[in-house]
Amino acid sequence: MFVRLVKMSFHEEHIDEFLSHFNANKECIRHFKGCQFLELYRDKTHSHIFFTYSYWDTKADLETYRHSELFKEVWSKTKPLFNAKPEAWSVDKVASLE
């Protein structure tokens, strides 16, 4: 499994636009080949900061998504809404408790 975290910070006036765009595309992203899990989080203290958390079968699956028409369409509408450069981490799950 390949776990990806992405931090995105938006201009306040663009948050609703981002959420609308995310909601319109989240099912397509989640059902992209190799994506097993997708969540969106919002920071409790800084409401303009969001995180995506996703599981991919392999790094190659994530890279295929990142070079897909879907990603290009989503990113082209998301990128202008940022107020800071997004940050991304690829991580290994060390422990998971339920």
Distance from first CA to last CA of the chain, Å, rounded?
A: 18
The pLDDT score that the predictor gives to residue 74 is 96
The pLDDT score that the predictor gives to residue 88 is 97
3-state secondary structure at position 2: strand
The pLDDT score that the predictor gives to residue 76 is 96
Residues of the chain with pLDDT under 70: none
The pLDDT score that the predictor gives to residue 43 is 98
Which pTM value belongs to this model? 0.93
